[in-house]
Amino acid sequence: MITVKEVAKKSGLKQFVTFPFSLYKDSKYWVPPLIKDELETLNRDKNPVFKNAEAWYYLAYKDKKVVGRIAVIINHLEINDQGKKKVRFGWLDMIDDLEVTKALLEKVYEKGREHNLEYAEGPVGFSNMEKAGILTVGFDEMNTMITWYHYPYYAEHLAQLGFEKQATWVEYRLKIPETIFEKVAKFSAIIRKRYNLTVIRFKNKQEILPYVNEMFGLLNKTYNTLQTFVPIQQYQIDYYKEKYFSFIHPDYICCIKDDEGKLIAFSIVMPSFSKALKKANGKLFPFGWSHILAAQKKNDTAAFYLIGIDPEYQGKGVTAIIFEEMQNLFNAKGIQTVETNPELKENTAVQLLWKDYNPVQHKERSTFKRDL
């Protein structure tokens, strides 16, 4: 018999967060999240997203053993400001038992109907800055620190339960040449001169801080037309700044400003932390930090996390400047391979950016939707 219980105490939340560690203990591709970060993200007293959201956490039991988990989320900004009558679900993990998945999703339907919502969609987090989508291609690839890994049966269960794919993201692996493409260097020089643009490089993390709010402002401008977008609030900016700042390496940040000093584009790249997080196994202390620091100092793989370009400059060749700066960095650091952040499949403009780097689509993930 399967029972589903709401997590009410801190001890239950710890059990909720650590369930995947047992589910995926034998997987060489699953990259564990940091337990402390997960607990803070789900904590109503610590995550400011709860100013405009609600969440309920559930564990499924079979024969007194935890066999699944799910978070049910209502984002009031999405519902009230954008008119999307959606109940979100995320942190979905379960054994390969369709009845377990069905029992967990019943909690999503219940909350959605209680709040007069029209459909359920997931897996997603509280906002666009969090993990989203069930893996459907790339089961023999490690996930990055900002994506989920899933067994193949997850998507199969949702399809059997009447869900249909909604948003789909693709990810690419790029090969970095030993020298920069001549046409990129020439085009970069032309664009810099034509629009009188200046590249900002950083010597330390503190120099980055004054630009963080502008970066998120550009993200809101860059992606506000995409189907999954919910504007990023200032309190979320402050929260994410604190959450990810320790992972940022100043060498991997590139900002571009116009002749009036206004930020018009930026890119954030990080050394790949997948192998380091695998070794850390959810904990930074006592030894997890050493793996992170080692990955920052010596790595042959990097991950493209974010690119933001002011709409006024989109399609004007600014990406040539970003690519020139990044390739010079990659060659200096010994980076040979780069993974892209998940990109919406219909966002062909972004995918065209990679065409000269022998892109190979190696992963795909989707959210799934079902009417209530």
Average pLDDT for 208-234: 73
Mean pLDDT of the chain: 90
Q: What is the pLDDT of residue 167?
A: 92
Q: What percent of the chain has pLDDT above 90?
A: 59
The region that residue 91 occupies, defined by phi over 0 for left and psi between -120 and 50 for alpha, beta otherwise, is left
Choose among 69, 63, 60: nearest CA to 89: 69
Alpha carbon distance 77, 52 (integer Å): 6
Q: What percent of the chain has pLDDT above 70?
A: 97
Banded model confidence at residue 238, pLDDT cuts 50, 70, 90: confident
Equal fold, 2-171 vs 177-335: yes
Helix (H, G, I), strand (E, B) or coil at 12: helix
Average pLDDT for 125-129: 81
Q: What is the pLDDT of residue 184?
A: 87
Higher per-residue confidence, 134 vs 212: 134
- Answer for the pair 28, 80: CB distance below 8 angstroms, yes or no: no
Helix (H, G, I), strand (E, B) or coil at 60: strand
Q: What is the pLDDT of residue 36?
A: 93
Angle at 5 between CA 27 and CA 67, to 5 degrees: 20
Q: Is the pLDDT of residue 285 over 90?
A: no
Q: What is the pLDDT of residue 223?
A: 65
- Answer for the pair 370, 117: CB distance below 8 angstroms, yes or no: no
Q: Please report, in angstroms and rounded to a whole number, the separation of the first and last CA atoms in the chain.
A: 25
- Answer for the pair 252, 271: CB distance below 8 angstroms, yes or no: yes
Fold classification of 2-171 (topology level): Aminopeptidase (3.40.630)
Q: What is the pLDDT of residue 360?
A: 94
Q: Is the pLDDT of residue 227 over 60?
A: no
Banded model confidence at residue 224, pLDDT cuts 50, 70, 90: low
HSE-CB at 97 with a 13 A cutoff on CA atoms is: 16
Q: Which residues pair with 60 in a beta bridge?
A: 4, 68
Residue 95: is it exposed, middle or buried by C-beta count within 10 angstroms (0-12/13-18/19+)?
A: middle
Alpha carbon distance 94, 104 (integer Å): 9
User: What one-letter code names the amino acid at 299?
Assistant: N
Q: What DSSP state is assigned to residue 298?
A: S
Instruction: Return the domain boundaries, the chain.
Output: 2-171, 177-335
Q: What is the pLDDT of residue 163?
A: 97
Q: What is the pLDDT of residues 5-15, one digit of tens each?
A: 999 877 789 99
Angle at 271 between CA 270 and CA 272, to 5 degrees: 110
Which CATH architecture best describes the domain 177-335? 3-Layer(aba) Sandwich (3.40)
Higher per-residue confidence, 136 vs 187: 136
Q: What is the pLDDT of residues 147-163, one digit of tens each?
A: 999 999 999 999 999 99
Q: What DSSP state is assigned to residue 206?
A: G
HSE-CB at 127 with a 13 A cutoff on CA atoms is: 23
Q: Is the pLDDT of residue 81 over 90?
A: no
Q: What is the pLDDT of residues 239-260, one digit of tens each?
A: 777 777 777 888 999 999 999 9
Average pLDDT for 308-334: 89
Banded model confidence at residue 180, pLDDT cuts 50, 70, 90: confident
Choose among 149, 148, 124: nearest CA to 49: 124
Provide the 10 A C-beta neighbour count for residue 6. 11
Q: What is the pLDDT of residues 83-108, one digit of tens each?
A: 889 999 999 999 999 999 999 999 99
Banded model confidence at residue 221, pLDDT cuts 50, 70, 90: confident
Q: What DSSP state is assigned to residue 116?
A: T
